[in-house]
């Protein structure tokens, strides 16, 4: 049985904001998320939710979405090595990339983003990065130098604007009983010298000593980070995992210097005992299934006290994290998502570039917002037939508000 972990209704009680725009920092007094205006998401179009769709709308899973400076949508699928480019109305423009080993070709898309106006795409194992101009024409391909991407001592490298890059890793040495952590740093693409902006866990998944790591976790562990959409900096979102009653947003520029900070207070939301027990039971079942399928390897390594090993190898806090996910827009808005337990809807709180809460909005059932431009929001979902689709939504003010 697959355990579905859901959070209770979101309750934010107060916001203390420091300007996210350097150089000044100021406090926005008396603002609360609860008092932020409520917006509604009205569906404008839906793409790919039919059994028979054109090739460019064929996805194995819900794709990643990005917007460029002109408002065009870049759709990054999971397995197809071609990025789809759509106009603001959802019409297909072109593919970028293709299957192969030549310049601008990929075996499988791994990561993608923008460095200024330039699109960059990395292969699944990111041993090289290809760059494309605004017309989708391949400009160059660079090999990743330094430590290898995969295996012992790997580091993940992602281009930023201005010849800079974001580097995550390599993993450090774990202290006794603690998980391995990795530095998140900003530095030049062509030389040493990096400024660390955060320290993240190498993995928050369930880890069974002597057996391995499993794709099973109860909560997202802090801190989280993302590149700004145009590659001009990095945003770090952090909270205390033991008492997650305050969320902190920290922005860093291309030199790794702090460029602003804001904080958001939340009411604690306790994880029910039955939810924790369901997670542990599923973890035990996952290890047993793996041991049964690999009796001569995994089967001989399963601990006698498997339940205790699952608890020991998992992150099981007392409270839910304040958010589930987030993304940043090109205008500087930060969209923070907190799941609700009602009808698979998710509520979003949108923080402006000045650190103040702008509005709240709920996504339609089953839809995850992924990119926004003004009052237009792009998201993805899956139909009852497990067909992934893309949706475009317009933000409106409810009648009577």
Distance CA 121, CA 389 (A): 22
- The mean pLDDT value for 274-293 works out to 95
3-state secondary structure 155-166: CEEEECCCCEEE
DSSP letters, 285-302, are HHHHHHHHHSTTTTGGG-
CA dihedral angle for residue 129, residue 130, residue 134, residue 139, rounded to 10 degrees: 130
Distance CA 170, CA 180 (A): 10
Cβ neighbours of residue 13 closer than 8 Å, sequence gap 6 or more = 32, 33, 34, 265, 266, 267
- Give residue 351's pLDDT: 94
Q: Does domain 12-396 have CATH number 1.10.3720.10?
A: no
pLDDT at 147 over 60: no
- The mean pLDDT value for 28-44 works out to 75
- Give residue 145's pLDDT: 60
Count of C-beta atoms within a 10 Å radius of residue 276: 17
pLDDT tens column, 39-54: 999 999 999 988 889 9
pLDDT bin (cut points 50, 70, 90) of residue 296 is confident
- The mean pLDDT value for 140-165 works out to 76
Assess contact for 21 and 353: CB atoms under 8 A: yes
pLDDT, averaged across the chain: 86
Please, is 281 exposed, middle or buried when counting C-beta atoms within 10 Å of its C-beta (0-12, 13-18, 19+)? middle
In the chain, domain spans: 12-396
- Give residue 126's pLDDT: 57
Count of C-beta atoms within a 10 Å radius of residue 359: 17
Strands 38-47 and 357-363: parallel
pLDDT at 57 over 80: yes
pLDDT at 2 over 50: no
- Give residue 401's pLDDT: 62
pLDDT at 25 over 50: no
Q: How many Cα atoms sit within 13 Å of 196 on the Cβ side?
A: 8
pLDDT at 168 over 60: yes
**What are the backbone angles phi and psi of residue 24, rounded to the nearest 5°?**
-75, 155
Structure tokens at 18: 């420091």
pLDDT tens column, 66-87: 999 999 999 999 778 999 999 9
Of 122-126, 199-203, 300-304, 335-339, give the lowest mean pLDDT range: 122-126
pTM for the predicted model, two decimal places: 0.88
Higher-confidence residue: 110 or 242? 242
Please, is 148 exposed, middle or buried when counting C-beta atoms within 10 Å of its C-beta (0-12, 13-18, 19+)? middle
Closest of 325, 326, 324, 329 to residue 372, by C-alpha = 329
Give the percent of the chain with pLDDT over 70.
86
Which helix (H) or strand (E) segment holds residue 224: the answer is strand 224-227
3 state SS of 278: helix
pLDDT tens column, 339-394: 565 556 789 999 999 888 999 999 999 999 999 999 999 999 999 989 999 999 99
Report the DSSP beta bridge partners of residue 74: 66, 85
Higher-confidence residue: 294 or 281? 281
């Amino acid at each position: 049985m697959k355990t579905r972990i859901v959070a209770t209704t979101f309750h934010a009680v107060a916001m203390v904001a420091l300007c996210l725009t350097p150089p000044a920092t100021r406090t926005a007094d008396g603002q609360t998320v609860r008092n932020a205006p409520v917006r509604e998401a009205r569906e404008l179009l839906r793409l790919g939710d039919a059994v028979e769709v054109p090739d460019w709308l064929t996805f194995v899973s819900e794709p990643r979405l990005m917007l460029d400076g002109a408002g065009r949508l870049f759709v990054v699928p999971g397995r197809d090595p071609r990025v789809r480019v759509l106009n603001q109305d959802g019409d297909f423009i072109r593919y970028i990339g293709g299957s192969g080993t030549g310049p601008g070709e990929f075996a499988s898309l791994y990561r993608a983003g923008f460095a200024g106006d330039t699109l960059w795409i990395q292969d699944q194992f990111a041993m090289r990065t290809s760059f494309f101009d605004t017309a989708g024409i391949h400009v160059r391909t660079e090999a990743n130098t330094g430590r290898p991407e995969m295996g012992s001592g790997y580091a993940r490298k992602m281009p930023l604007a201005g010849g800079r890059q974001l580097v995550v890793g390599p993993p450090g040495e774990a202290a006794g009983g603690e998980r391995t952590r990795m530095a998140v740093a900003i530095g030049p693409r062509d030389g040493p010298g990096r400024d660390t902006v955060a320290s993240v866990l190498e993995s928050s998944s369930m880890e069974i000593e002597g057996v391995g790591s499993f794709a099973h976790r109860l909560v997202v562990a802090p801190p989280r980070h993302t590149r700004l959409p145009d590659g001009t900096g990095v945003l770090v979102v952090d909270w205390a995992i033991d008492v997650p009653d305050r969320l902190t947003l920290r922005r860093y520029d291309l030199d790794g210097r702090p460029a602003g900070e804001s904080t958001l207070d939340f009411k604690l939301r306790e994880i029910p005992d039955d939810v924790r027990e369901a997670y542990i039971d599923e973890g035990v079942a996952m290890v047993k299934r793996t041991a049964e399928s690999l009796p001569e390897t995994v089967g001989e390594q399963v601990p006698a006290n498997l339940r205790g090993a699952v608890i020991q190898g998992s992150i099981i806090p007392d409270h839910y994290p304040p958010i589930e996910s987030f993304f940043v827009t090109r205008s500087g808005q930060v969209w923070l998502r907190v799941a609700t337990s009602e009808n698979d809807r998710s509520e979003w709180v949108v923080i402006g570039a000045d650190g103040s809460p702008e509005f709240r909005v709920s996504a339609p059932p089953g839809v995850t917002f992924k990119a926004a431009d003004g009052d237009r929001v792009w998201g993805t979902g899956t139909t009852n037939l497990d067909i992934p689709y893309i949706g475009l939504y317009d933000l409106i003010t409810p009648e009577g508000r």
